Amino acid sequence: MGLSKAAELNHYPGPLHILNLKVELELTKGQIEETQSIYGTMHSNAKKYGRSLIDKEREIELLFSNQQADPKVLEELVKEAAELKAKIRLEHLSAHISQKLLLSETQIKKYDEARGYTGAGNHKRKHHHNH
């Protein structure tokens, strides 16, 4: 499941896709600037957490490769890795909430149509979504 699938499929657009559709959605200059800010903050924070997650996964790997696997240490490292994954997802989903608040209902409908989220099978995805 994508990090933001729940948002995407329920009329909470993603900022990167909004920027890619700015002409079709007739975004104002203010909407473009705010969307760039939403995306920049989300991207920066998600990258920071992602780097920490990679480091945490390396620690888990080393625990085993160094033949030092200890259940209590492992439990703590796995919990920390899971918390980082949760922070990354929260950044993505929070960006979708901020983005929706910035758009009109008409713009959201146009977005859903452009992304293939309309019609009886609106939970079928036409495009792959990573953000």
DSSP string, 26-67: T--HHHHHHHHHHHHHHHHHHHHHHHHHHHHHHHHHHHHHTT
User: For the chain, what is the domain count?
Assistant: 1
* Residue predicted with more confidence, 62 or 1: 62
Token representation of residue 41 = 């903050």
> Which pLDDT belongs to residue 119?
64
What is the Cα–Cα distance from 68 to 98, expressed in whole angstroms? 44
What range defines the domain where residue 83 resides?
5-115
- Is residue 96 a contact partner of residue 14, using CB atoms and an 8 Å limit? yes
**Hunting for tokens 């909430």 — which residue is that?**
97
The model's pTM is: 0.84
Answer yes or no: is 33 within a domain. Answer: yes
Whether residue 76 is contained in a domain is answered as yes
Assigned domain for 99 exists: yes
What are 24-46's pLDDT values in tens digits?
999 999 999 999 999 999 999 99
